Structure 1
Amino acid sequence: MNALKKAGNSVNTFAKKWAEFVIKFKWPVFLLTILLALGLASQGKMEFDGDYHVFFSESNPELEAFDALQEKYTKDDNIVIVLAPDNGEVFTRENLVAIEELTASAWNTPYSSRVDAVTNFQHTSADGDDLYVDDLSYESATKTDAEIKEIKAKALKEPLLLHRIINEKGSVTAINVTVRLPGVDSAAEIPEVTVATRKMVDEFKEKHPQFKVYTTGLVPLNTAFFEASQSDLALIGIMLLIVVVVTFLLTRNFFATLSTLVVVLFSIMSAVGFIGLTGIKLTPPSAVFPTMILTLAVADSIHILVTMLQKVRKDGMGKKEALVESMRLNFMPVFITSLTTVIGFLTMNFGDVPPFWHLGNITAFGMAMAFLYSTTTLPALMAIFPLWRKKVASKKEEKIGMYTKLGLFVTRQPARLAVISLVVIAGLTYLATLNVFNDEFVEYFDDSVQFRRDSDFINDNLTGFYNVEFSVGSGESGGINNPEYLQKLNAFEDWLNDQSEVVHVNAFSEVARRVNRSMHGDDQTYYRVPDNRQEAAQFLLLYELSLPFGLDLNNQINVDKSETRVTATLKNISSAEMIAFSARAEEWLRNNTKEPMHSIGVSPTMMFSKLGFRQADSMFNGNIIALILISLVLMLALRNFKLGLLSIIPNVTPVLVGFGIWALYKGQINTGMVIVFGMTLGIIVDDTVHFMSKFLRARRELGYDAKQAVIYAFETVGRALVTTTVVLLSGFAVLSTSSFALNSYMARITVIIITAALIIDFLLLPALLILSSRKDEAVEAIPNQLKPELKLNK
């Protein structure tokens, strides 16, 4: 204990001497921190990466499986352009001509390798022993009404078109543009494709105003990620304004507000330099780092400034004396809160989502710099700036303030407040377990994003946006022509079509059935897979030779014809349902086919569906480590093992309360919310540390009993805690307006958690401090304003 006491005294002495040093050399200190901030900022380079692949680590097994599938076949990055004519009828001469024109234009899209539309669908027919493969509708301007009617009938009966390119009513159709991005620089390639696509669509709409046009696909998804990053980065302007206004209203001091603004700007500038030095590319999750740092960095400054201003306004201290005392009182709590916040954000590295690694590392660095600037730049500026203050009325008795009254309220009934609080927390903890995990990536964006609105329309009126793909092998070169393989593949296709989640199935067995029928004079009885291997191989060769350039079967068959690709397009279903569907399909293959045909379901949809579960599993260890480290830090900082353990309760319970309330509000959590425990654990420690440090100071230095120490803590730190909480709530409230759900949901639940943390630290924590403390017989010092109240209690 003596060693801990000496350590505490050493910290106080260091903080006091540090403050005196900074004040004495205020101009050199200020200039050096300016040079540091500008030097780091000069290395800054902010680049954006909108490719959805950035959400997956290189070791992610789902990504590895998906990349392996794309290497066997063609890459399927795509743009889906959906056309909805005002007359509700795709099959008119005018509309088919327009679709032909847009299909032709789509071939000019940068990096395009294939364009699929209803007009260029390769329809097979036979004339005797001859097989004819033609566009379903070519030179549509010359078609008669009877021919157009026939084209419609063929299209609506074609399994490869229905619910994929055309809907049942024939009122909505799609043009699917497949692009093969080089993958050298996605930050340049994706915008290039997007600009060209948007220009093409605008020109089409101007020429053919009778169509409403919607776009979706993986390229528009990447673009939505890219634009969300830039949009969220712009939130910093709103947040800066809010911080300035809120800080000024709560401190009522212009120079304090200006000093705070300088600290947060220097912190952000340093973080930008860190990004440049480490080569991090910004993504939607990591692009919110300025708002994060700005919001969190304010807390350090607020505690120092509020204490200083209290000493000046209430105790009549001089500016220098008040600044030194504020630094002495707050240096260790500010250091501890900064350290725990850094630890919390660094735990994001335990997860499996690289953009959150980047967010954690950038914010952790920014918070470390914020501590440096708040203990150097801030006191230096406050020493430089004049301090306008009213004279303190020395003889006039002060009224009991709001925070004193709150302290008195808690000290009168600690047991009752503790029991009520713990019961409420237990109930909300139970509700927290009822949250369901769901990570549909279309729902990463809210309705203000065009990509989300277009995808919802397409899902409701044409086809699903989600899919699961299987590479079904035969076990031998050319084995896809084996009748046994084709029959099993056909059975798998039929099973998929029978599943309630499935909208459409694209499988080679459908091609084999169509060609077999056409090669037998379009006799419907031959609409089945061939039963002779040699015949099947010949039919396939003849069919492939008849296909035009760009519309071959390379997207369905691998090079040596040993495997084929089966794509099941699904309704918009939850992550758990997606994973369950894929597991059922994999089980069907294991139970009904030979080993070479066994396959696992892959696709970007599956990758995102499993991402959140994988992130949750990997973050669990990180959160445990963070909790242990932060608890150890608090035990050492507070120099009290018992109170260090006790601090775990107000640090963990706000998160449980937050997720309990979230279960009532939304009931679903996503990948972005998985990091909340580690992230907020560091943030909410701020309230606990400052309250407990003031409580212990009253006990150790002033000799107060537990109840008086609680009231002292409310008086000295209550306003600062409310001030920092308001600023934190403002920052995360701004972030909650993000159109990107990973960020907005994370911000909303953080708002709930931070609010819960303040309430718990104002009700449960002081109650627990009183109940866990030994009763003191002697009281060395009693605050003047409490004497009437203490007499009344006696």
Structure 2
Amino acid sequence: MKQLWLNWVLKHPWQVLLSTLLLVVLMSAGLSKLYFRGDYRVFFADDNPQLLAFEQMQDEFNKSDNILIGVAPKDGAIFSVANLTLIKQLTDAAWQTPYSIRVDSISNFQHTEAEADDLLVEDLLLDTSLLDSNKVAKIRAVALAEPALLNRLVSASGAVAAINITVQLPELDKNKEVFDAFGFAQQLKADFSQRYPDVEFHLAGVIAMNHSFAYEAEHDAQTLIPVMFAVIVLMLALLLRSVLGALATVIIIIITISSALGLAGWAGIFLSTATVNVPTILMTLAVADGVHVIASMQFALNRGDDKTSAIVYSMQRNVMPVFITSATTAIGFLTLNFSEVPILADLGNMTAVGVMLACLFSIVTLPALLAVLPLRPGKAQQHSSNAMDKMANFVIARHRLLLPVTLLLMVGFASFISLNKVNDEAVKYFSPKTEFRQAMDFLDQNLAASMSMDFVLQSGQSSGVNQPEFITAIETFSQWLRQQPEVTHVNSISDVFKRLNKNMHGDDPAYYRVPQQQDEAAQYLLMYEMSLPYGLDLNNQLNLDKSASRITASLQNMGSKEITAFEQKALGYLASQYPQYAAAAASTALMFAHIGERNMASMLQTLPLALVLISLLLVFSLRSWRMGLISLLPNIAPAAIGFGIWGLYSGEINLGLSVVAGISLGIIVDDTVHFLAKYQHARHEGRNAEAAVRYAFHSVGRALWITTAVLAIGFSVLMLSGFRLNSDMGLLTAIIILTALVIDFLFLPAFLLKFDTKESKTDA
């Protein structure tokens, strides 16, 4: 059957090429349907419990999507006439931000004072023309004593301030809306930087994070793909020493990527920070198939075969290994469907489809291409074969030493896996070189900027927030939060009640406490709300019928385990102290923490399934249970060693790294399958283990190190990404791929020489 199909392809190459072109055009038409999404919600499924809790909280209270503009005068003095004027001007200008519903700063903080029997509510800085040393001193005293401002909108040192812009996106075109809002903030930053050259401005917040997700993904697509393409073309030309051979492989790469992305468009899949890597990954994987076919063809040409015979020789020896390695790679990527992150599942599906398309084109279109191209023997083949022969002789001569030494090294490096821990911090998804990360790191050092957790306490009845016992519960919980080492700031309605109670008692500090009577609390709150200007109401802290209140705790930068532990600790406190009130917690940081934990757990559960499926495929392809079992250790060890090395290097496992074991398992099978297939072929011809090892090195060794070099460099290109999920994934995958080659060149042949000593041609 295989021979009939191959003969037909070689007799009708132009028909095959035209049919391929038509198929590719039809599939690629879906490219027009692709669109890009860069908001953080793409990381979460619609039924994600933390996302549902977060969206419910967003519906009940004001949205918390924000842009935080950090203001850092070089003189370190926010409280001066010039810098307070700047804060006032920037606050007023920030109201023009598209989709903004609220702007908070020290200038428009609604300060309350007693004036005889009246309550005076006005901006802390109402008129900059009235600023003098006394007014500046009063503003400083109020701002540094006010819990709602201190460490949130002004640092305790008075050196850094912030303007917080709350936005409510219509969510009709999320990407455009994020770019519109953030683009306006960038323009504000540019304008004020020019007007105030002695002041540094930093942009942070959720909208800034969304913009960074989108920007880094688009930047990767514009830079990494061309870099990867150039690297592959250069490497193919150098390693294959054949311009036409490199051209044929590049054609397979292009039609594979175009078809895979087109099918994704037809399927309604959008591009994201994860799926923009599909072209880069497919380039590396498609190369592996092409290199094996062309390298085997060159091997036959160099020994004197004509071109048609050389193509037949190559295809007979590579069709099954190419199919099996493609299938195992696809299985590895399909395990991402068990991921808790939808865009990682999209990455897995798109890549799996692309890998199988590359397989199809490599065993149907590539031989037709090679048949019509005037290929000649490669000049580098003989030198490379000599190098592989020397490598074989080295392993054969020292296999008794190599086996225990490599086994010891494998166990040693794998033992460091325990040093790794799951640690997902959304801010750390970005490289320290990115502008967003630098802004967040700076503001985290001075203000509570990057991480928060919202708690909602339900009173159970309308206007229940006016009950003194409920306000007391909020106040007690707020004080408990402030005592926790993880907490840097707490925003609570109880602080407003205490301030109003003091104001309504002639600003007597003794009355800075929760009101004792419900009617008093209700009256104070009504007077205060009636005095608040548009956009600065209490909807960010109280729901519509005033039955519940939101308390926001700003946190230090923590890993996912610490965040989820803090959530449980806080909710446990509320359950034990105030069981009569329903409580819930939500925030973007909490969402990412939970998704990181669950994603790692789900990926660990699917690894055994992937291993079983891949092992069965290997047994089927090699038609030997013994060879299938022999292949297990060389296939498992690289990932174990890679994660051990990562434990020494970093020790942090994020969303990107949690999927590496699954996808790399499918890729590293490539080397093992091709080596064992050639080894087994020699054994079937009656050669002993030594001769079979020599034949495997001689016939496939060159192709293995070429494909490994291309794969490793291909994934290493991802290290140039400013998005750490991509760069870490690229680095660790490259480490695992290189490790796989070392194991297959040193451990696997030594293992075969030690344990596969039967002289019979038949399989076990």
Among 81, 93, 96, the alignment partner of 2:84 is 96
SS at match of 1:281: coil
Q: Alignment partner for residue 720 of structure 2, among 713, 721, 737?
A: 737
1:405-554 to 2 correspondences below 5 Å? 405-554=390-539
Q: Partners of 1:402 and 1:351 in 2: how far apart?
A: 43
Q: Which position in structure 1 is the counterpart of 2:671?
A: 687
Other structure's SS at 2:375 match: coil
Change (3 A) 1:490 1:377: same
Q: Which amino acid aligns with 1:405?
A: K
1:600 is paired with a residue of what secondary structure? Answer: strand
Query: After superposition, what is the alpha-carbon deviation per residue over 1:292-311, rounded to whole angstroms, capped at 9, x for unaligned?
Result: 00011000000000010011
Deviates more, 1:167-176 or 1:40-49: 40-49
Deviates more, 1:409-418 or 1:22-31: 409-418
2:71 alignment partner AA: L
Match of 1:141 in 2: 129
> Matched residue of 1:134: which SS?
strand
Aligned to 2:269: 280
Structure 1, residues 703-741: CA drift from partner, whole Å, max 9, x if none? 111221111111111000000000001101111111100
In the TM superposition, what whole-angstrom CA distance separates every residue of 1:451-475 from its partner, at most 9, and x where no partner exists?
Answer: 1111111111222310111001112
Question: Which residue number in structure 2 is paired with residue 716 of structure 1?
Answer: 699
Within 5 Å, which residues of 2 pair with 1:5-404? 14-45=1-32, 46-234=34-222, 235-313=224-302, 315-389=303-377, 401-404=386-389
Query: Which residue, out of 610, 633, 637, partners 2:617?
Result: 633
Tell me what 2:758 maps to. Answer: 775
* Counterparts of 1:106 and 1:150, CA distance in 2: 25
Match of 2:708 among 725, 729, 739: 725
- Asked whether the 8 Å contact 1:316–1:392 carries over to 2, the reply is no
The 8 Å contact of residues 687 and 721 in structure 1, kept in 2 or not, is answered as: yes
Label 1:677 to 1:383 Cα distance change in 2 as closer, same or farther (>3 A).
same
For 2:680, the aligned partner's letter is L
AA of the residue aligned to 1:292? I
- CA deviations 1:632-677 (Å, max 9, x no partner) are 1111110001211221111111000000011111111111111111
Pair 1:571 & 2:556 matched: yes
* Distance of aligned partners of 1:486 and 1:379 in 2 relative to their CA distance in 1, 3 Å threshold: same
Is the 8 Å Cα contact of residues 93 and 141 (structure 1) preserved in structure 2?
Answer: no
Distance in 2 between the 1:353 and 1:376 partners? 35
CA distance in 2, matches of 1:773, 1:40: 47
- Measured against aligned partners, the alpha-carbon deviations of 1:336-384 in whole angstroms (never above 9, x if no partner) come to 0111111111110011001111111111111111111111221111111
Q: In 2, distance between residues paired with 1:535 and 1:777?
A: 97
**Residue type matched to 1:284 in 2?**
T
Paired residue type of 1:279 = G
Tell me which amino acid in the other structure corresponds to 1:269: S
> What is the distance in 2 between the residues matched to 1:169 and 1:463?
14
Provide TM-score, normalisation by structure 1.
0.93
C-alpha displacement at 1:620, in angstroms? 2.5
Conserved 8 A contact 2:102-2:536:
yes
Conserved 8 A contact 1:247-1:257: yes
What per-residue deviation string (whole Å, max 9, x for no partner) do you get for residues 542-563 of structure 1? 1111111110000100111111
Instruction: Give distance in 2, aligned partners of 1:330 and 1:381.
Output: 16
Q: Deviations over 1:678-722 (max 9, x none)?
A: 10111001001100100110011x211122111111111100000
CA distance in 1, matches of 2:342, 2:579: 38
CA distance in 2, matches of 1:47, 1:478: 46
- Give yes or no for contact 2:151–2:488 (8 Å, CA) kept in 1: yes
Change (3 A) 1:399 1:689: closer
The secondary structure found in structure 2 opposite 1:505 is strand
2:655 match: 671
1:398 Cα offset (Å): 10
Listed one character per residue, the Cα deviations across residues 84-125 of structure 1 (whole Å, up to 9, x for unaligned) are 122221122222222212111111111110000110000010
SS in 1 for 2:121: strand
Alpha-carbon contact 1:469-1:602 (below 8 Å) kept: yes
Secondary structure at the aligned position of 2:158 is classed as coil
Query: Relative to 1, partners in 2 of residues 1:241 and 1:274: Cα closer, same or farther, differing over 3 Å?
Result: same
Percentage identity across paired residues of the two chains? 43
Of 608, 623, 626, which aligns to 1:624? 608
What's the CA shift string for 1:317-350, capped at 9, x where partnerless? 1111001110001000001011111111111001
- The 1-side partners of 2:721 and 2:193 are apart by 30
Partners of 1:399 and 1:208 lie apart in 2 by: 64
Q: Secondary structure at the match of 1:730?
A: helix
Q: Give the SS at the match of 2:122.
A: strand
Residue in 2 that maps onto 1:606: 590
Following superposition, the deviation at residue 399 of structure 1 comes to 11
Q: Provide the rounded CA distance (Å) in 2 between the counterparts of 1:348 and 1:398.
A: 41
- Residues 734-761 of structure 1 show CA distances to partners (whole Å, capped at 9, x for unaligned) of 1111110001101110011001100111
* Matching residue of 1:791: none
The 2-side partners of 1:130 and 1:710 are apart by 95
Q: CA deviation at 1:392?
A: 13
- Give the whole-Å Cα distance in 2 for the aligned partners of 1:374 and 1:266: 11
Find the aligned partners of 1:768 and 1:92 in 2 and give their Cα distance.
75
Moved more, 329-338 or 225-234: 225-234
From the superposition, tell whether residues 167 and 587 of structure 1 become closer, same or farther in structure 2 (CA, over 3 Å): same
Report what 1:662 is aligned to: 646
- Identify the residue that residue 651 of structure 1 maps to in structure 2: 635
**Letter aligned with residue 620 of structure 2:** L
Aligned mates of 2:596, 2:524 — CA distance in 1:
45
The answer (yes or no) to whether the contact 1:455–1:465 under 8 Å persists in 2 is: yes
Show structure 1 runs of 5+ residues with no match.
Answer: 1-13, 780-794
User: Relative to 1, partners in 2 of residues 1:161 and 1:778: Cα closer, same or farther, differing over 3 Å?
Assistant: closer
Deviation at 1:778, TM superposition (A): 9.4
1:777 positional shift: 7.5
Distance (whole Å) between structure 1 residues aligned to residue 683 and residue 761 of structure 2: 11
For 2:11, give the aligned amino acid.
K
CA–CA distance in structure 2, aligned partners of residues 622 and 777 of structure 1:
38
Distance 2:209 2:98 in 1: 17
Q: Corresponding residue for 1:760?
A: 743
- How many residues align? The count is 760
